[in-house]
């Protein structure tokens, strides 16, 4: 049995060894695999998956995806004739393959962000299910190689609310996709646990007495808050419903911080905040669409033929034509993920240093821009205020004040965020957990209870 954090930013697996959770090394990826996938073509993901599924699943999958498999076979033949690898890659290797040639292949980051999206067509749901299944298959294989045994039982982490506009309907859609994908790749017993509750279970193991803990889990795509009553006496109890005093969640996460830093720190170098020859400000809609990598509709619009015509007209009408040409290049060469990745790496660097230089020479020879912690703070004001509201809402619903605030998630490592959260509750002790591992470890603890 495993605890499986299928995260927006990273994926990780933990097992219980000697009564303690241990995050597994997954071959060359280490303990954390970035939630990315690269395929030489979107159409061949289904063919790769067909080859990796357990024998018991292959026949039914072949029936479900007959048309897609036939289309993929045609594409596979073309790729082989051109001498192009037909294999899928994951994690850092997926990002590197994309960066080598952004115009070729199919790259997706954080597919979890799309699972609750509204108005998905059946073929889009099928594609996301196959993408999730491919990633799960890769992780399951690496886990079994590490442990030298088959794994069929898992507890998967889930946010309180997935990213989506339709509330419980979005949640049901996302869970249906995750469950179907997990079953396809060979998991037989599948349970879910709220990610902030899982993080809380790991923190609970460090306590000596009953404590009210406000758990703030800032993931890649969502932020979830839970007020939990914790005690060393409770940690063997499977049903913790009465100890969950309140919870709140919203689709705000590390990806949103990255996107906002891209807009405020990078896009001015691409003409944003400039003016038309008429004296009016440059419209900003295309800049938002360019970086909205977690929004299918916005990305589709940015890369549409209609937007190509619009951007070419914008170059003619702008004072700063050369800068707008850089935005045109982003569209022509499909560089959205590269821009946001630049911002993400700068955000990470700002954890250790006050200022960071971003190299944009792939847009224009010698082009760089500077960002610092104040840039990040100003760019993220809306997200930070939303997180503060979530925390206060959770406290109000619980009807009591926390004795400790436990913060986890990759973005929690930023001193900008830590200082902001402490300022909201200055009299309450703030504890920052294992930025990526707390949820995974807690899921393993819950799996031990669930499948005992």
Beta partners for 90?
A: 37
Structure confidence at residue 101 (pLDDT): 85
- Please give the chain's pLDDT, 452 residues, in tens: 999 999 888 999 999 998 889 999 999 999 999 999 999 999 999 999 999 999 889 999 999 999 999 999 999 999 999 999 999 999 999 989 988 888 889 999 889 988 888 888 899 999 999 999 999 999 999 999 999 999 999 999 998 888 666 678 888 999 999 999 999 999 999 999 988 888 888 888 888 899 999 999 888 888 889 999 999 888 778 887 888 899 888 888 888 999 999 999 999 999 999 999 999 999 999 999 999 988 878 988 999 999 999 999 999 999 999 999 999 999 999 999 999 999 999 999 999 999 999 999 999 999 999 999 999 999 999 999 999 999 999 999 999 999 999 998 777 788 898 899 999 999 999 988 766 788 999 999 999 988 97
Query: CA dist 280 to 274, 275, 306, 318, 445, Å?
Result: 9, 6, 22, 9, 58
What local confidence, expressed as pLDDT, does residue 435 receive? 67
Per-residue model confidence (pLDDT) at position 411: 78
Which pLDDT value is given to residue 235? Answer: 77
Domains 2-195 and 208-253+383-433 share a fold: yes
Residue 342 CA to residue 193 CA, distance in Å, equals 33
Cα 412 to Cα 254: distance, rounded to the nearest angstrom: 9
What is the pTM assigned to this prediction? Answer: 0.82
Contact 317, 276 (CB under 8 A): yes
Name the fold adopted by 208-253+383-433: Nucleotidyltransferase; domain 5 (3.30.420)
Domains in the chain: boundaries: 2-195, 208-253+383-433, 255-379
Long-range CB contacts (within 8 A, 24+) of 355-360: 358/265, 358/266, 360/266, 360/269, 360/326
* CATH architecture observed for domain 2-195: 2-Layer Sandwich (3.30)
pLDDT of res. 202: 82
Q: Pseudo-torsion of CA 408, 409, 413, 418, nearest 10°?
A: -50
Q: Do the beta carbons of residue 215 and residue 232 sit within 8 Å?
A: no
Q: In this predicted structure, what is the pLDDT of residue 195?
A: 86
CA distance 376 to 304: 30
CA-to-CA separations, 212 to 230, 245, 250, 395, 422, in angstroms, rounded: 6, 9, 22, 11, 17
The predicted pLDDT at position 104 comes to: 87
Beta strand 429-432 pairing with 404-408:
parallel
């Amino acid at each position: 049995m495993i605890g499986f954090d299928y995260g927006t930013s990273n994926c990780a697996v933990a097992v219980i060894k000697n009564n303690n959770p241990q995050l597994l090394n997954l071959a060359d990826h280490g303990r954390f695999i970035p939630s990315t996938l690269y395929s030489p073509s979107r159409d061949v993901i289904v063919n790769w998956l067909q080859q990796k599924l357990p024998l018991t699943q292959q026949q039914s999958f072949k029936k479900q995806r007959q048309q897609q498999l036939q289309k993929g076979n045609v594409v596979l033949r073309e790729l082989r004739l051109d001498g192009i690898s037909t294999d899928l890659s994951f994690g850092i290797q997926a990002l590197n393959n994309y960066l080598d040639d952004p115009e070729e292949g199919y790259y997706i980051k954080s597919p979890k962000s799309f699972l609750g999206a509204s108005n998905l067509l059946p073929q889009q749901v099928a594609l996301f299910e196959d993408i999730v299944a491919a990633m799960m298959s890769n992780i399951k294989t690496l886990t079994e190689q590490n442990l030298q045994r088959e794994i069929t039982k898992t507890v998967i982490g889930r946010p309180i609310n997935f990213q989506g506009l339709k509330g419980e309907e979005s949640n049901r859609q996302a869970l249906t996709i995750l469950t179907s994908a997990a079953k396809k790749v060979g998991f037989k017993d599948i349970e879910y646990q709220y990610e902030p509750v899982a993080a809380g279970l790991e923190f609970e193991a460090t306590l000596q007495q009953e404590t009210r803990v406000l758990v703030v889990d800032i993931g890649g795509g969502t932020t979830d808050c839970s007020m939990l009553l914790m005690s060393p006496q409770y940690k063997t109890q499977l049903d913790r419903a009465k100890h969950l005093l309140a919870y709140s969640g919203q689709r705000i996460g590390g990806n949103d911080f990255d996107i906002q830093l891209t807009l405020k720190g990078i896009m001015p170098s691409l003409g944003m905040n400039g003016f038309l020859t008429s004296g009016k400000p440059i419209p900003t809609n295309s800049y938002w669409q360019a970086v909205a990598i977690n929004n299918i509709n916005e990305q589709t619009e940015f890369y549409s033929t209609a937007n190509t015509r619009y951007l070419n007209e914008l170059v003619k009408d702008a004072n700063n034509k050369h800068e707008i040409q850089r935005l045109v290049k982003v569209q022509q060469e499909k560089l959205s993920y590269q821009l946001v990745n630049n911002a993400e790496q700068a955000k990470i660097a700002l954890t250790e240093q006050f200022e960071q230089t971003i190299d944009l020479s792939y847009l224009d020879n010698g082009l760089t821009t500077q960002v610092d912690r104040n840039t990040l703070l100003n760019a993220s004001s809306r997200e930070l205020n939303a997180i503060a509201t979530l925390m206060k809402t959770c406290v109000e619903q619980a009807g009591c004040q926390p004795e400790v605030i436990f913060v986890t998630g990759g973005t929690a490592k930023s001193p900008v965020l830590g200082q902001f959260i402490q300022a909201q509750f200055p009299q309450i002790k703030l504890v920052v957990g294992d930025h990526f591992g707390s949820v995974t470890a807690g899921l393993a603890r819950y799996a031990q209870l669930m499948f005992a």
